[in-house]
Amino acid sequence: MRAVCLLSGGMDSATLAYLARERGFSILALHFNYGQRTEKKERACARTIAGLLGAEEFREVDLAYLSAFGASSLTDHALPVDSYRADREDIPNTYVPFRNGNLLAIATSYAEARGAEAIFIGVQSQDYSGYPDCRPAFIEAFQRAIDTGTRTGNAIRVHTPFIHMSKREILIEGSRMNVPYEHTWSCYQDEDVACGTCGACHFRKEAFSLAGMRDPVPYREET
């Protein structure tokens, strides 16, 4: 069995890839560069994880047009990255418009070309409070698009094992599988030392704290 795993270089996607391997899939690792602030660090982490996993393939795809479109602080350096706010009700400016729609479309093409039965994407419960393309309804709709738009007989299923899990639960699952979190990166803003204030840093730090584990990644306030 083969699975296309969306491998960003973050802790969720690394755990996801290890879980797919544990479930018996040969890994086709798919990484995207779209002009994000931490592109170089994410790419390096994704390559390392794919190598440690023994992935069958590691494929990089450049989506520079997402950066050209702008409207996200991840790709537009003129916009400051939103810090985490517990009382936030609007969508944070780190949202990249319809990013997961783009990523899943390319993953579907790759899966169909390679005869893969599965696509693994690491969307999870803390994402879809702010990002509309992480919600269960979106994944279900995209599955229908795959079923309609691929060749007859190609049963490609989108797997979202973390969609109802917290970051802490994902971390505990990854710890069980010995995921090397020192080779993952979550910070939206910086590549050398994590900022510690963006939403991604907040949820990562919180997960390690709640799990009673030490985060191997350095944070700015700790240096």
* This prediction's pTM: 0.96
84 C-beta neighbours (distance < 10 Å), count? 16
Which residues neighbour 211 within 8 Å (Cβ) at sequence distance 6 or greater?
A: 168, 171, 172, 175
Phi and psi at residue 8, in whole multiples of 5°? -80, -25
Average pLDDT for the chain: 95
| Domain span at 154 | 2-222
CATH number of the domain within which 105 lies:
3.40.50.620
pLDDT of 222 above 70: no
Torsion of CA 99, 100, 104, 105, to 10 degrees: -40
Name the maximum alpha-carbon separation found in the chain.
55
Count up the domains in the chain and report the number.
1
| Type of residue found at 13 | S
Confidence of residue 2 (pLDDT cuts 50, 70, 90): very high
Which residues neighbour 190 within 8 Å (Cβ) at sequence distance 6 or greater?
A: 37, 38, 220
Strands across the sheet containing 118-120? 57-62, 26-33, 2-6, 118-120, 157-159
pLDDT at 130: 74
pLDDT at 127: 64
Residue pair 5/27 in contact by the 8 Å Cβ criterion: yes
Q: Tell me the C-alpha distance between 107 and 126, whole Å.
A: 23
Tens of pLDDT, residue by residue over 56-115, are: 999 999 999 999 999 999 999 999 999 999 888 889 999 999 999 999 999 999 999 999
